[in-house]
Amino acid sequence: MNEEAKKKLLRMIPHALYILTCKCEGKVAASTVSWVTQASFHPPLVVVGLKKETHTFEVVRHAQGFVLNFLGSGQKDLAQKFFKHVGPEGNLLGGEVFQDSPVLKHPIFPKMAGFIECRIIAMVEKGDHAVVVAEVLEAECGPLEGPLLISTTGWNYGG
């Protein structure tokens, strides 16, 4: 394997940053994720690569659903807050106000570019991240313009 070429090309795949949230049986999870693609029109499916052996993955697996919050293009600082596990404090998560999503009741952030509510329909667990295949059940736009592209942050996640 040409490791340098693999790294360069996998980092050429464009990715944005999102806050994935989930609440299940009193446990709340919120993590920054970036490996996302659409995967079907009918039904509308998305795929998320979700790091295994994490609090967020365990809560999501139990809930069999999640919300993907689309960060605004200027919300790099907020993305950074959710690189590690952050618990809720009152109505705040990472210092940001959150509410319940309409269908699945997972946390949403009103001051972002929007969110999609997703129900998991399949999972492939053959790598260090799980391939989570999920149907979009509901969507709502927020006040900010997105996306927050990784390529604009100076960070890398991939390769």
Pick between residue 86 and residue 148 the one whose CB is nearest to its own copies.
Answer: 148
Q: Does 15 bind its own copies (CB under 8 A)?
A: yes
* 154 near its own copies, judged by CB under 8 A: no
Binding mask 95-134 for its own copies (x = CB under 8 A): ------------------xxxx----xx-x-xxxx-x-x-
Residues in 21-60 that interact with its own copies by CB under 8 A: 35-47, 49
Q: How far apart are CA 47 and CA 62, in angstroms?
A: 18
CA-nearest of 62, 47, 52, 15 to 31 is 52
Q: Which is nearer to its own copies, 27 or 149 (CB)?
A: 149
Contact 124, 97 (CB under 8 A): no
Q: What is the DSSP string of 76-142?
A: HHHHHHTSS---EETTEETTEE-EE-TTT--EE-SSSSEEEEEEEEEEE-SSSEEEEEEEEEEEEE-
CB of 101 to its own copies, least distance (A): 12
Select from 29, 89, 93 the least CA-distant residue to 65.
29
| Residues at the site binding its own copies, with contacts judged by CB under 8 A | 1-2, 5-6, 8-10, 12-16, 35-47, 49, 70, 113-116, 121-122, 124, 126-129, 131, 133, 136-141, 146-147, 149, 158-159
